[in-house]
Amino acid sequence: MKKRILTIITAFSISFIIMIALSVISMNRFITYAYYSNFSDTSGIIIDNIYQAELHLRDIDRAERGYMITRDTMFRRYVYNAIDSMKNDIIDIDLLIDDNPLQQHYIDLLKDTMGLKIGAVVTNVNFVDTTNSENTLSRHFYESRGYMLACNRLLKKIHGLENKRREERQNSEHIYETLTTNTLSYLLVIFCIVTLVLFALMIKELRGRIKFQEQLQAKIVDLKRSHVELEEIAYAASHDLQEPLRKIQVFSNMLLVQQTDDMTVANRESLKRINTLANRMQLLISDLFSLTSLTKIDEVKKEVDLNKVINFLTIDMEEKIMEKNALIVVDSLPNISGYENQLKLLFNALFDNALKFTRYNVQPVVRISGSMVTGAELKEVNPNLKNRKYHQISFSDNGIGFDNVYMNKMFRLFQRLHTQNSEYVGKGIGLAICQRVVTNHEGYVVADGRRDEGATFKLYFPAD
C-alpha cells in the first residue's frame, strides 16, 4: 500500500512539475506575443501620424501658395493651423520612436528641415504682406518648396522604415501567437492525459483499499468471535476453579483442627502451607475474574465525580489506612466521563499498591491531584495526541518505588517486581487492572518510579 501511495505521489509530483513548466513557458510566450502585438499597434499609430504629417505638410504648401496668389487671409490662417498640426505630429512621432536610433536620426533631420520650412513660409507670408507688386512669388517660395520636398522625403524614409519594422513585428507576433496557441493545446492534452492517469491510479488504489477494508472487517469479526470465546473460557475457568479451591481449603482446615496424635509437626506445617496457597490462589482467581470482567463493559458512561470515588475508597479502606498510619492528601479532582465501578477498581488497585509497598519506619503518604493538560505530555506514547486535552490525575506515594527500566513490564499480567520470598506480597494483577480500566476510558497511564523514594502514576482521561 505504501508503494502504491508513493507511486501516486511521484506521478502527481511529476505531473505538477510538468504543468508548472508548461505554464511558465506558455506565460512567457504569451508575454512575448503581447510585447510584439503592442509594438505592432505602436507601429500602426506611428504610420498614422506619418500620414497625418504628410497631409499637414501638403496643407502648408497649398495654403502658402493660395495666400501668395490671392492674398486671402483665410489661407494665411490655414497656414499657421497646418504648421501647428505638423509640429504636433512630429512631437507624437518623436515620442513613439525614441527606442530606434536610426528613426530618431531621421526625425531630428525632419525637425531641422521643418524649422527651415516654417521659416521660409513665414518669410513668404511677410513678403506678400509688405509688397505692392503683382508678382508675389519671391525666391523664398522656391526655397520653401525645396524644404517641403525634403521634409516629404524624410517622412517617406521614416514611413518606409516603420513599415518594415511593423512587418517584422507582425511576423513575430504571428509566430508567437501560433506558439502560444500550440503550447496551450499541448498543455491541455498533457493535463488531460495526466489527469486520466492519476484518476486510474486513484481508482486502483480505492479498489485496493476497499478490498483491504473488507479483509479487515472479516478479521475484526473473527477477532471479536475469538475475544468472546476467550471471555467465556476465562469466565468459566474462574468459576470452575473456585469450587475445588474451596474444597481444598475446607479439607485442609478440617485436618488442621483435628487433634490427632499421629500428625507430625511437619505434616501440620504442610497443611498450613496448602491452606495459605489455596487462599492465595482464590485471591488470584478473584482478581483474574475482575480483570476479565473489564473486557466486557456492561455500564453506561456517565459523569463521575472523582472526589466522591476517592472519598468512598478511603472510607472502605479505613482499617488498612489506620493500620499503616498512612496520610492521604487529596486535592480537588475533576469530573470525568466514565464508568464509576471501573474507576473504583482502578483507584482501589492504586491505593492497595501504595499501602502495600511502604518503607520501614516511614509514614506512608499518598497524594492525589488533578489538572488539565494537553496531549504534548504523551509525546513518548503517541505524538499524534498533542492537540487533544486530557484530565491528568496524579497518584503519588513515598513507598519503596521501582526502577524505571521495569516500567513497561509492570503493567503486564502476573508480572511482579519482587520475588515470592520477598516481604512484599503481590499478585501481579493490580496494575494490569489499572491499565485495562484506563484503556476502556480511551486514556493512558504513565508510571514514574524512584527507588526508595516512591512512585507516581499519571492517569490521562480525555477531556473532549
What number of residues does the chain have? 464
Go through the domains of the chain in sequence order and give each one's CATH number. 2-204 (1.20.120.1730), 298-462 (3.30.565.10)
pLDDT score of 64:
79
Q: What is the pLDDT of residue 51?
A: 85
The pLDDT value given to residue 307: 92
pLDDT by residue (tens digit) across 31-84?
776 666 776 777 778 888 888 888 888 888 888 778 777 777 888 888 888 888
Residues 67-72: contacts with CB within 8 Å, 24+ apart?
Answer: 67/125, 67/128, 68/124, 68/125, 68/128, 68/136, 68/137, 68/141, 69/136, 71/128, 71/136
| 109: helix, strand or coil | helix
What is the pLDDT at residue 367? Answer: 92
The three cell numbers locating residue 451 = 527507588
Contact indicator for 402, 426 with CB cutoff of 8 Å: no
Phi and psi, residue 363, nearest 5°:
-65, 125
Q: Provide the whole-model pTM.
A: 0.48
d(C-alpha 84, C-alpha 246), whole Å: 130
- Is residue 454 within 8 A of residue 396, CB to CB? The reply is yes
Give me the pLDDT at residue 295, please. Answer: 60
Strand partners, 455: 397, 449
Report in angstroms the alpha-carbon separations of 11 from 8, 15, 383: 5, 6, 30
pLDDT of 419: 45
Per-residue pLDDT of the chain (464 residues; tens, 9 = 90+): 566 667 667 766 777 777 777 777 777 766 776 666 776 777 778 888 888 888 888 888 888 778 777 777 888 888 888 888 888 888 888 887 777 788 888 888 888 888 888 888 888 777 777 766 555 555 667 777 888 888 888 888 888 887 888 787 777 777 777 777 777 777 777 778 877 877 787 787 778 778 878 888 877 777 776 666 666 666 666 666 666 767 777 777 776 666 555 667 777 777 777 777 777 776 666 666 665 665 666 677 889 999 999 999 888 888 888 888 889 899 989 999 888 888 888 898 888 888 888 888 888 999 999 998 888 888 877 777 888 889 999 999 988 887 776 666 666 555 555 444 444 455 557 777 788 888 888 888 888 888 888 888 889 998 87
pLDDT tens for each residue of 320-370: 888 888 898 999 899 998 888 888 888 988 888 888 888 888 889 999 999
Q: Which backbone phi and psi does 375 adopt, to 5 degrees?
A: -70, -5
CA separation, residue 27 to residues 5, 181, 186, 193, 194 (Å): 32, 11, 14, 21, 20
Q: Which residues of 384-417 are buried (b: 16+ CB within 10 A; e: fewer)?
A: ebeebebbbbebbbbbbbbeeeeeeebbeeeebb
Query: Given the C-alpha cell 469479526, which residue does it identify?
Result: 221
Q: Strand 365-374 to strand 327-330: parallel, antiparallel, or no bridges (unpaired)?
A: parallel
- Of 92, 9, 83, 8, whose CA–CA distance to 48 is shortest? 92
Residue bearing cell 516481604: 423
Confidence at residue 424, expressed as pLDDT on a 0 to 100 scale: 47
CA-wise closest residue to 394 among 375, 411, 365, 369 = 369
Q: For position 340, what pLDDT does the model report?
A: 87
Alpha-carbon radius of gyration of the chain: 53
User: DSSP secondary-structure letter at 300?
Assistant: P
Q: Is the Cβ–Cβ distance between 398 and 357 less than 8 Å? A: no
